[in-house]
Amino acid sequence: MRSLPLSKRQLVGILLVTTCAAGAFAASAADKAPNGDSAKPPAPVVRRLTAEQYQAIVKDVFGDAIKLGGRFEPDPRQDGLLEVGSAHVSVSADGMEQYDIMARTIAEQVLSPEQRSISVACTPKSTDAADPACARRFVEDVGPLLYRRPLTKQEEDASVTVASEAAQKLNNFYAGLSWSLSAMLESPQFLFRQPAVEPDPGKRGAYRLDGYSRASQLSFLLWNAAPDEQLLAAAKKGDLNSTKGLARQVDRLMASPRFQNGVRAFFTDMLRFEDLDSLVKDPVIYPKFSSKVAEDSKEQTLRTILDVVLARNGDYRDIFTTKKTFLTQVLASVYRVPLINNVPNGSPDTWQSYEFAPDDPRGGILMQTSFVTLNSHPGRSSPTLRGKALREVILCQKVPAPRAT
C-alpha cells in the first residue's frame, strides 16, 4: 500500500528531534549528581565548515564579487557521509596556511577602496589613524554573521584592539580593520560549527541546544549556509525554543529558493558525488565518457531529485522510479535517446526535460549515469559494485569485507 508523501509538518517534527537531540545533548544518568542535577553538560559535536559552507558565508556577508584565493583541505568520509567526517577533523599546518591566505585575500577585497563604502557602515574620523568607535561598529555588524551568534565582550574588544593597533602601526584605518577581519576569518569560532548547550528549564538535569546553535543546525541543514539575520533574531528572542516558533522558521527556510542548496548538498554527500570529479574510464571501451559527461550526470541526478521532491512535491521514493528526468545533448548521446525539442544552434549545455517511455527499463536515479559510472570498474560494468553501493548508500547496511581465502 502506497503511503502519503512526507508533509512539511511531519518534516518539522523530524527536524525537532534531529535538531534538539543532535550530539546527544540530553544528560545521561552517569552524568547526574546525587541530588538529581546534571554534574556537567555533555560535550557538543564540533564540525569544520565545508568548502561550500565557507564560500556561502563569504558570499552572504560580503557579496558575490569576493574571491577566496586559496584551497581547502579535503574532508574525510565517515559512516558513509562527509558531514559526519567533518566532526572528526582538525586543521593541518598546510591547511592553516591556506586559511590564512584566504582570510587575508578576502579581507583585502572587503576593505579595498572599491568595496569599503559597501562593507563599512561608518566613516572613520581619519583614514590615516585608528578609530575604535568605527572599528567596533564594523565588528558588531559582521561578527555575528561570521560567528553565527553575538560576539562576547572579550571577543569584540579583542577585534577592536587588533584593528586599532594595526591602524596605528600602518597609519591606515582600513588596513588595520583588514587585519582584524582576517583574524576573525581564520579563528576557530568561524571555521568550526561549535554548538553551545544550556540547562533545559523543562527537564531537570537535562541540557538543550541554545537558540543560536539551533539556528545554525537548521540553516546548515536546510540551506547549507549560516543563519540569516531573521533567523538570528528569532534565536535572540527565544522563538526557536518553542514548537510553533521553530515550525515558523522551518517553513520560512523551506519556502526559500535556498532550500534547493540544502537538498543538493545532502544528496551530493549521500551519493558520494565528489568522486565524479576524479573519475577515470577506459577511453577505448567508453569513448563518450568525459569530464563533461561526469559533470552533467551529477547535475542530472540532482535535477531529478529536486523535480520530484520540491517541484512536484512527490513521495521521496519516487526518485527511484520516476521516468522524468533532464538531459543535455551530451547526455542524450550517452543514453542514446533523441531530444525532441532541439536546442538553438545545438547548444550542448542547455538542459531539457525528458521522459523515458513506460516500457523502457530505465527509470529512477539508480539507473542514471552518475550512479552506474561511480559504481563500476574503469573498463567494465559491475553488478557487484552497484549492489554493494545500493546496500551501503541507499539502505545504510554495512557490507562486510570478503573472507580471506
Q: Where are the domains of the chain?
A: 8-45+195-262, 47-192, 271-394
Query: Distance between CA atoms of 397 and 316, rounded to whole angstroms?
Result: 19
Residues of the chain with pLDDT under 50: 1-36, 38, 344-345
- Report the C-alpha gap between 359 and 323 in whole angstroms: 10
The DSSP 8-state label assigned to residue 319 in this structure reads G
> How far is residue 301's CA from residue 317's CA, in Å, rounded to a whole number?
14
Q: How much is the pLDDT for 90?
A: 78
Residues β-bridged to residue 352? 327
Q: What is the dihedral of CA 337, 295, 351, 317, to 10 degrees?
A: 80
Q: Is the alpha carbon torsion for 113, 117, 118, 122 positive or negative?
A: positive
Best CA proximity match to 46, nearest among 6, 83, 21, 77: 83
Handedness of CA 307, 308, 310, 311 (dihedral sign): positive
**Predicted model pTM:** 0.84
Pair type for strands 47-48 and 192-193: antiparallel
Residue 143's pLDDT is what? Answer: 97
63: left (phi over 0), alpha (psi -120 to 50) or beta: left
Res 202: pLDDT: 83
Check residue 74 and give its pLDDT: 84
Chain centroid, CA 362 distance in Å: 31
Which pLDDT score, from 0 to 100, does residue 42 have?
Answer: 60
Query: Which among 348, 265, 263 has a CA at the least distance from the CA of 311?
Result: 263
C-alpha cell at 71: 584551497
Helices and strands per DSSP (H, E), number in the chain: 17, 6
pLDDT of amino acid 325: 96
C-beta of residue 235 within 8 angstroms of C-beta of residue 215: yes
